[in-house]
Chains A and B, each alone.
Chain A
């Protein structure tokens, strides 16, 4: 198996993840967002497993397993349960229309390509592509957090962002396992915090629209 081929497969998986990132922006139903997110995490697991196979780095299999178990299964199920439990409105509430979000998304991808190209001029084209992909996924995650009003979709945006980080990490050779595990745990903690947070704001405002929190900010004079 040639080096070239292994990179091509890696990039294809990365691109799948990017497409899923766009899919997240495109969906209008909360459940569809969760499914798309699960799909993205699955792609991440595949990317990690493929890198483990190619780099002969068994610890990346652990990363893949973590991604699969936590992000592709546990988190979507938990959020699914939360949405049902809290009786949240099933449509995604957007701050910016879906068409415009996608246009901004494409602009962000172009931006990350532009940024990555000069920085990594010395590196091979293949590393550049992985970096550009990962960075795009991160930026799309951020975009999702900004343009969606509902707290659940914001959490998904955060997770998607983190998917991009891990993608960058597995693509670069030699990231220690410790980092991965700590990231995975931090995600779990974040997930738990968000979960509690949901219950709290839900109790208080009868909604998960974070705009309601605005009027309770202390620093407004």
Chain B
């Protein structure tokens, strides 16, 4: 594999196949923890580390894990890595642990992790899977940071907890609420859709790859949809 294609695996997660803004995965933590930049950075980095580790482990074991038990095996590995990260964050970054609360443990059920394990890591080698995990993780962190910056600056008049001139006087507190999260999320999706017009993958192109039941229906559901 050439250097360019390795780079493209890493870069596709940043914008073209951004997990949050294009693939629409992991929207729950995105809305919940993007009210300030500190939370967004913490959750984004934790998710990225779990994504890289789980992608590497799943890729390394892809030939050993039997097809029938692959999903339980992936969940075991992902849950293990999340618990490791949770313990390390609790011990060394206590303030971040307090702020993120149960959302660190909830990384286990983040669709991005299992989605990338099923769609990419189970079919590719360790290096490519690591690059995919890093790209997707940074894409997730970047999307979270963009949304959090808008919400914190315009919603609270602060950045990283520091008051900003002008914005600290004139801000729009509703952006700090869940409504604001949905609003900014929608605007970001619109911008990314405009930027990637015609280049982003369509849902039907990867739906069967990401479906845990794909081996049971052999893609028949996709064919049925196309006939309709």
Query: A and B: partners?
Result: no
Chain A positions near chain B (C-beta within 8 angstroms):
none
Chain B positions near chain A (C-beta within 8 angstroms):
none
